Amino acid sequence: MEAMTVSPPPRVLTVAGSDSGGGAGIQADLKTMLALGVHGMSVIAAVTAQNSLGVQGYWELPPEAVRAQLDSVLSDIGAQAVKTGMLASPILVETVAEALAAEGAPVVVDPVGVSKHGDSLLAPEAVDTLRTLLLPIATVVTPNLWEVEQLTSVKVEDERDLRRAADAVLALGPTWVLVKGGHLPGEPVDLLTDGAAEFRFRAPRLDNRHTHGTGCTLASAIASYLAMGDDVPTAAGKAKDYVTGAIGRGFPLGDGIGPVDHAWMWRS
């Protein structure tokens, strides 16, 4: 019998930190990509020791190790979208930005500053490198309200501030910005804009404290849908729906904040 030729699925690369607890970081990214039907690949930029209670420590990989991983994947397999997460230090941000600037694939930047527990994951001196080198090559950047303030000094206190915050991030060079408003009071709303078009994504506020990994999951879902050919507004809307479902099925793990359920569509 003649062997069947199987076409590979779309390929998505994540460049981020490893989460030993499995709820965020590289682990959340790869689970999201598998759930959505793309082939996930990973460049590990840092290793964390973390669990449901917080981050007990993190260690950056040498920049040459990060660059070697990038070159290895991109020179042979290639990627139809790239997602970046925890990059920790100026030299790692610079290394990743330099490698991705030469790629034609869309880049989704999750400008990770702190963990869900409030632990810092980005050195203060790396913020300017993120602003000047990584954001200008981003197709989409997905800051939460704290990260908006860290990047632009704009403080968001209610939904009326979202567009002003988004415009301040756009001034740093990305094509699109998705400001995540989940920490605002009332119904969660995210604002997506490229400076001309504007979209607002709303979802009910779910009574579930197990939300570890939501930012990683959302950015990875956007990258996955972009790799499958969706435009940015469509990818962001689908990603919002996926994350909302994952939060709704989030489960307790350990003694602290549990993860979202990346496989909720399968379990349903």
Q: Establish whether 83 is a catalytic residue.
A: no
227, 257, 255, 223: which is closest to 242 by C-alpha? 223
Q: How would you classify the pairing of strands 140-141 and 176-180?
A: parallel
Q: Which of the following is catalytic: 14, 211, 217, 244?
A: 211
Q: Which of the following is catalytic: 48, 214, 217, 244?
A: 214
| Gap between the Cα atoms of 12 and 177, Å rounded | 20
> Residue 54: phi, psi to the nearest 5?
150, -170
Q: Establish whether 211 is a catalytic residue.
A: yes
Query: Can you read off the two tokens belonging to residue 40?
Result: 């996930």
| Gap between the Cα atoms of 196 and 206, Å rounded | 31
Q: Establish whether 213 is a catalytic residue.
A: yes
Query: Which DSSP string do the residues of 178-221 spell out, in sequence order?
Result: EEE-TTSSSS-EEEEESSS-EEEEE-PPPS----BTHHHHHHHH
Q: What 3-state class would DSSP assign to 221?
A: helix
Q: Which residue has the tokens 């040498």?
A: 62
Q: Which of the following is catalytic: 17, 83, 95, 216?
A: 216
Q: Which of the following is catalytic: 25, 113, 213, 250?
A: 213
Q: Which of the following is catalytic: 31, 83, 116, 180?
A: 180
Q: Establish whether 31 is a catalytic residue.
A: no
Q: Establish whether 214 is a catalytic residue.
A: yes
Q: Which of the following is catalytic: 17, 40, 85, 215?
A: 215
Q: Any idea which residues carry the catalytic annotation?
A: 180, 211, 213-216
